[in-house]
Structure 1
Amino acid sequence: MEISTNTSKLDLGSTNTDSRAIPSQSEKEESFGRWDNFVDSFRQYQPASYDGYEELTDLEKSAIKTANSPLQRKLNSRVMNMLALASSLGSGLLIASGEALNTGGPLAVLVCWALTGLAVFCTVQALGEMAVTFPVSGSFNVYASRFIDPSIGFAVAWNYFLQYLVLLPLELVAGSMTMQYWITSINPDVWVLIFYVAVISINLFGVRAYGEAEFLFSLIKVTAILMFIIVSIVIAAGGAPKGDAVGGKYWVNPGLLANGFKGFVSVFITSAFSYAGTELVGLTAAESENPRVSLPKATKQAFWRILFFYMVSLTLICFLIPYDDPRLLGNSSVDINASPFVIAITNGGISGLPSVMNAVILVSVISVGSSSVYATSRTLTALAEQGMAPKILGYIDKKGRPIIAIMITNVFGLLSFIAASNKQEVVFNWLLSISGLSSVFTWLSICVAHIRFRRALSCQGRGTDEIAFKSQTGIIGSFYGALLNIIILMAEFWLSLFPLGDKPNAQAFFQSYLGFVVLLACYIGHKIWKKNWILFISAKDMDIDTGRKETDIEALKQELKEEREIFQSKPLYQRIYHTWC
């Protein structure tokens, strides 16, 4: 089994997936018609076989399979950067921030979004380090299995899968409701069908089509939010058709905080959920053309997204709208009248914005729907590759599409056709409750996996000089991210027991905290299924080699040393730019 003195017996897993995904010469020479080629593309890609494979442990087998997934590397740096910059921008910022302002007040909004944003940035940095080192299929759920415990990886991955599985029909329904702003005479299911076909088509054309579509969607969202920021600055300075310079008058009357400490905690939770989807950039590692180049750049984009699109826009919102504005009370994810962006600019006397904002929300829901199919199919495939789901779910065709996983996701998406039903809100509230805390669990697992990975390097006499990209926030950042996510879970538990403005009741509790019950059931179920009774994998026993693209560690160290010397010789402005961009 051993192929190199520098690595473990699992170095078989570091085979270059790019070359394995390229058809052989004999395949190229076969003369097929267009229809035959199309049909043939759906046939399963046959992975390479390894001598002695059956003698390995389950963890070793999963490491090899996820490292050698036939997913195709077709996401370039341009697409990766835009995915990192704007893929998760949506109703959490555009709509829910207004409800948070009404609940907690301007001080709560800014403090909570800043604290949570810092934790998310630390988490993305930790994920970036591991994804560059191990660009494997499944990304963070695989890291949880390898560096913490397979049962943790199983529970986190299935929760993440459920989160995005539910999001697909939810976003399709949201899109149909958004269209009713312009047209009310058409049955909502007609719009659901149109968006359903669009989302399915994007993913069936392969990862390159998904990447290009997300690039376009993200570009529209970035442009729109930048325009809103510029217009808001003009309004705050008194340059709008209506109103004078606002200044800080709303911070005095009605004040900085609403609903006291419980309101502050509620905003804390809302801010965490608004960042959901930030981790998607790590899931693309196995399909990035050059993860060592594109992933570090994409990871750094998270800082600018948090700073400009969240903190700058929310600061302006907090200056332009009092927290007691009755229009902020809307709680629908597509309630355009509850958007603080619309309210702020409408107050300035600028007409026509609601239609523009609805168009942006429509783009956002289609974008999230497409990302839902991508996230669920890749997570389900990785679960199958790790032996944590039926083997058939790991079916990947010759074009690198996890076609069975995509089909399952699309079938579940048919739930969106209840858009015309009067029971849709009840159905989706319970579906969302199943995985409502999934993002927090995922971020927590990423931070803990990073801490454990660094611990394994230390225990095995290895150092960070063999890591191509190191987290800019280091292990301290991962400790901070883990701590904040634990605090968020505790805060959500408290508010689930004692809801703001309501009496304790079982339905409210389970709709908010059912996700934890599902996670715990998955964790215990996996322990019983696999008879895995360890709490965590010992650092000295962790596999820190399988899945690396560079198998010669000493050569990699020398290459990284030379790159650092070249970097230090560059002018100061170039060093600053490459550090943050």
Structure 2
Amino acid sequence: MSENVQGTGQSAVKTGKTGKIDGSQATATKSVVKRTLTTKDLIVFGMIFMVPIAPFSIIASVASVSHGMPAIAYLIAMVAMLFTALSFGMMVPLFPSSGSIYIYASHEMNDSVGFVVGWLMILQYLITPAIMLLMAANALHEYLPHIPVWVWCVGFLVVITAIAMRGMGATVLVDKLALAAELIVLALFFVFGVIYVCKHPQTAHFSGTAFFNPGKFDMGAMMSAVSLCALSYVGFGSIVTLDDQCVRPKKAPGKAMIIIVLILGFLYMSMSFLTMCMDPSGNILQANQNSGFYEVAGLAGKWLGVVCAVANALALGLFTSLSGMTAISSLMYTMAVDGGLPKFLAKYDKKTNVPVGATLFTAAVNLVLIFVFILLGQNTAAKVSNFGALSTYCMLNIVVIWGLGIKARGYRGRSFWRTILCPLIGAVVTFVIFISLGWTVWIVGLIWTALGIVYYLVWTKGMHRTMDLERKVV
């Protein structure tokens, strides 16, 4: 095993005599990544990746599956994510590296477990841009049906790839503008939605059953809905993929994750509640699960439905997919530097601060995935992404219990509730959501996992490549 290096400002890079990445040798070298991101930048990045108006695309599906109680589904998902965010907060200061969960698993368990976790992270982040592009295209296709869905998807993909190649400076600027625009649109929906409910008591009304209806509640259906709406939350984990570019890598990511989960959880539940108040019967939402929300918003004014559709299309098609591309490129770059992935993914442009190889590879893969997901449908595609996210989040909580609780009880003064109880709750809730994804998603996810294991064995045993997926505890 090669020398472990501190994640703050350094990465474990394997180099040969020529200075190129080489899986057979390992030496410590200073990271070429510049630290420019503040806590505020991380919050903006995470909120854009999660999307304040994310439920616009799937709220009709969540409402239908949950029997008219989407707000409860978002609340349950938020609880799971909060406990997971606390676990992140425990690990980030010890391992400030953009590899995140796979680094934690590698150090506390072993490299083989860590690689499988990283492989599952790749599943989540690699397909997220394609899912967002499809959701964006569906929103626009409802109002411009003569333009094929795939045309919108490919067009958005070209734009976000061009922006991503310009570096994080351009990405952060675009993200801030996008976040402001999304919050304005959301405010419009709240204001005019409330006005509509107040003016139409015959067809719309505020009621507690819009939040929880005991007569229709079914735990199995609810957890299935939670497994779908979890897509709106899992993006907070993308923050730690940018640790190497963060000014305060030990504190900022954990703080940012808690903040965005709480803020966006409140927004998701509020808009879900208001939507059900505008359509108490749920008939409009059930009639069209791809565009039902926009039709409900249109009750307050046709212009509002159009504005919400266009805003969500731009948010998902440009801004969220851009953040997703940035996150997966950073993750694959780090794994390639550590010898876990082919070295062409470690190609880096020092001028733009962009992992060029990983970014172009991500764009190419998502070009193919666009057409695959058009056939599968956006809901199934979303759950496939959640297979990767929920499995790694569950693993994160287990790593905290094992590493900071069982192996090192009271580690550095940390109490029982933070090292055992909280991560245990997070692991259980996340696992319950995970098993509710459905057999189709499980089959796809297990096939992906099996491919990862085969790759690991061929890479390490067959080709005798060395991986160094650990980071030094600091």
- TM-score exceeds 0.5: yes
CA distance in 1, matches of 2:49, 2:384: 23
Letter aligned with residue 390 of structure 1: P
Note the alpha carbon deviations across 1:412-462, whole angstroms, 9 max, x for none.
23337759xxx9424988877765511111211221222233137726x85
Aligned residue runs from structure 1 range 46-65, under 5 A: none
Determine the structure 2 residue equivalent to 1:133.
Answer: 94
Give me the CA root mean square deviation. 4.1
Determine the structure 2 residue equivalent to 1:557.
Answer: none
Letter aligned with residue 491 of structure 1: S
Note the alpha carbon deviations across 1:103-156, whole angstroms, 9 max, x for none.
22245x343322221110111222133223322121222112222332232222
Instruction: Go from structure 1 to structure 2 and tell me whether the alpha carbon gap of 1:121 and 1:395 turns closer, same or farther (over 3 Å shift).
Output: same
Determine the structure 2 residue equivalent to 1:34.
Answer: none
1:100 aligns with 2:100: no
From 375, 383, 395, the equivalent of 1:445 is 395
From 169, 172, 176, the equivalent of 2:133 is 172
Letter aligned with residue 485 of structure 1: T
Determine the structure 1 residue equivalent to 2:306.
Answer: 355
Report how far residue 235 of structure 1 moved: 4.0
CA distance in 1, matches of 2:267, 2:38: 23
CA distance in 1, matches of 2:8, 2:72: 46
1:150 aligns with 2:111: yes
8 A Cα contact 2:54 2:312, kept in partner: no
Determine the structure 2 residue equivalent to 1:322.
Answer: 280
Letter aligned with residue 98 of structure 1: A
Instruction: Go from structure 1 to structure 2 and tell me whether the alpha carbon gap of 1:362 and 1:430 turns closer, same or farther (over 3 Å shift).
Output: closer
8 A Cα contact 1:102 1:325, kept in partner: no
Determine the structure 1 residue equivalent to 2:185.
Answer: 224
From 393, 408, 433, the equivalent of 1:488 is 433
Q: How many residues align?
A: 462
8 A Cα contact 1:168 1:413, kept in partner: yes
Determine the structure 2 residue equivalent to 1:404.
Answer: 357
Report how far residue 357 of structure 1 moved: 0.6
CA distance in 1, matches of 2:378, 2:226: 23
Determine the structure 1 residue equivalent to 2:244.
Answer: 286
From 270, 279, 295, the equivalent of 2:228 is 270
Report how far residue 213 of structure 1 moved: 1.8
Determine the structure 1 residue equivalent to 2:330.
Answer: 378
Q: Can you give the 5+ residue segments of structure 2 that lack an aligned partner in the other structure?
A: 18-22, 462-468
1:70 aligns with 2:32: yes
Letter aligned with residue 389 of structure 2: S
Letter aligned with residue 33 of structure 2: L
Letter aligned with residue 341 of structure 2: A
1:119 aligns with 2:80: yes
Q: What SS does structure 1 have at the residue aligned with 2:266?
A: helix
1:248 aligns with 2:207: yes
8 A Cα contact 2:63 2:285, kept in partner: no
Report how far residue 207 of structure 1 moved: 1.8
Note the alpha carbon deviations across 1:39-75, whole angstroms, 9 max, x for none.
xxxxxxx979799xxxxx99x969x67xx54222222
Determine the structure 2 residue equivalent to 1:312.
Answer: 270
CA distance in 2, matches of 1:475, 1:260: 30
Report how far residue 279 of structure 1 moved: 1.0
8 A Cα contact 1:430 1:511, kept in partner: yes
Determine the structure 2 residue equivalent to 1:500.
Answer: none
Letter aligned with residue 79 of structure 1: D
Determine the structure 2 residue equivalent to 1:534.
Answer: none
Report how far residue 481 of structure 1 moved: 1.0
Instruction: Go from structure 1 to structure 2 and tell me whether the alpha carbon gap of 1:427 and 1:122 turns closer, same or farther (over 3 Å shift).
Output: closer
Q: What SS does structure 2 have at the residue aligned with 1:278?
A: helix
Determine the structure 1 residue equivalent to 2:253.
Answer: 295
What fraction of aligned residue pairs are identical, expressed as a percent?
17
Aligned residue runs from structure 1 range 363-374, under 5 A: 363-365=314-316, 366-374=318-326
Aligned residue runs from structure 1 range 15-34, under 5 A: 16-17=9-10
Instruction: Go from structure 1 to structure 2 and tell me whether the alpha carbon gap of 1:99 and 1:282 turns closer, same or farther (over 3 Å shift).
Output: same
Report how far residue 98 of structure 1 moved: 2.1
8 A Cα contact 1:71 1:286, kept in partner: yes
